[in-house]
Structure 1
Amino acid sequence: MKGARFGKRARPTAGTQAMEVVADGLGVRAGDTWLLRGVDLRVRPGECLVLTGPNGSGKSTLLRLVYGTQEPTEGSITVGGLSPDERDRDFRRRVSVLLDDSDFFAEFTPVQHLELLAGSFGVDLDVDALLTEATLDDRAHVTAGSLSAGQRRRLLLLGATARPFDVLLLDEPERALDTAGKRWLTDVIARATGHGAAVVVATHHPPLLDTADHVLDLAALAPVS
């Protein structure tokens, strides 16, 4: 994973709260059913939290809470000391996310996607190196809609990780990746924490547990009625 040139992460200015993710007594209820309850967590800059548990245990819900697209029923969650709000431009620039509904422009090529990303964030990206490391170099000028499921996943991951960010949220990023792609994913996450980002990953991929600073098994938090 050497040689790729990613966007340089913006340093917080003096007086700016570090982008730490903190939850206290977090709970979400749908009707009479608790999807999550009693969640406490703290992810500091440079740390990775892995969320585990079977489908339906609340992993995606927790990531939506961190990104501010869903409100908690009880408890609190903060990112950088503030309530998360994906509608806020500064928040979106500092928090990068890959969720179930993340998508790409089907008519754009991988090169065009990365060039758009670089222009949007005002950063210099080594597009060729990034695509080579993601093994998309031979598909660089093919429209994204023509890529295989695994290749589309790699492109989405590049979109989330090649840009500047202080917090990275990934929902089952290993989905559709082959063995080499999963190794690449592990390296990408390690590089993100190495650059000082706080990373939260929902995953079923065991090697990510081995490299995590914290693991939260949501199946062990049985919601109380």
Structure 2
Amino acid sequence: MELVADGLGVRAGDVWLLREVDLHVRPGECLVLTGPNGSGKSTFLRVVYGMQEPAEGIVTVGGASPDERDRSFRRRVSALLDDSDFFAEFTPVQHLELLGTSFGADLDVDALLEDAALADRADVTAGSLSAGQRRRLLLLGVTARPFDVLLLDEPERALDVAGKGWLTDVIARATGNGAVVVLATHHPPLLDAADHVLELGAPEPAR
């Protein structure tokens, strides 16, 4: 699947968050969104996921308009956005077993938890995990399942140094498997994974 934006513009009230955005991200490539808070990074991800309509221009994912309400679209596009959550009463093992069942995927649960440094917390309820461990579990939830496009909103949040290193490896594996990865980040080392960088500035008043 390819991600294409042509003259994309998004307004919030009387200001433009995004304007005249043109890009083409191919399978196996990573697009990194940078810029201060409020510059439109999360908004861009919401548009790509079909949760928000642009005011002008177009964006397509796999040649079609994105629509997170469409089941086939959701099966191909995996997203960790700012409102993503987990089942607090489920253990990491239960989360991954449910994920595998939902997507018809044969997941090696033990290997996934070991890779994410959650093996020793495998049978602890998610609500009892630390903030960093919960973040790793959320990231596992969107990267262990099959996908062609991966959207990540500040995925480094709450991760320690080791966790950020693991995240970098996860992103590299995703692009290595041919996925399009789009991530908004304030973590400079993640720029090393970028094939494209979209630097966003302060919102502009609409005229």
1:160-188 CA distances to partner (integer Å, 9 max, x unpaired)? 00000000000000000000000000000
2:60 partner letter: T
Question: How does 1:47-126 map onto structure 2 within 5 Å?
Answer: 47-126=29-108
The two structures have a TM-score, normalised by structure 2, of: 0.97
Cα distance in 2 for partners of 1:100, 1:163 equals: 19
Q: How many matched pairs? A: 207
Distance, in Å, in 2 between the alignment partners of 1:223 and 1:55 is 17
* Corresponding residue for residue 150 of structure 2: 168
- Segments of 5+ residues of structure 1 without an aligned counterpart are 1-18
Do the aligned partners of 1:37 and 1:223 also contact (CA within 8 Å) in 2?
Answer: no
CA RMSD of aligned residues (A): 1.2
Distance 1:224 1:40, change over 3 A: farther
Q: After TM superposition, where is structure 1 displaced by more than 6 Å over at least 4 residues in a row?
A: none
Partner of 1:32: 14
Which amino acid in the other structure matches residue 34 of structure 1? Answer: W
Distance 1:206 1:63 in 2: 19
Q: 1:149 aligns with which of 94, 111, 131?
A: 131
Counterpart of 2:164 (choices 182, 190, 194) is 182
- Please state if 1:215 is matched with 2:202: no
Which stretch of structure 1 is more off in the superposition, 170-179 or 120-129?
120-129
The whole-number CA distance in structure 2 between the counterparts of 1:23 and 1:91 is: 17
Q: In the alignment, what sits opposite 2:113? A: 131
Which whole-Å CA distance do the structure 1 matches of 2:25 and 2:118 have between them? 32
Contact 2:17–2:204 (Cα < 8 Å) also in 1: no
Give the Cα–Cα distance (whole angstroms) in 2 for the partners of residues 55 and 140 of structure 1: 34
SS in 1 for 2:201: helix
TM-score, normalised with respect to structure 1: 0.90
Aligned-pair distance for 1:222?
A: 5.3
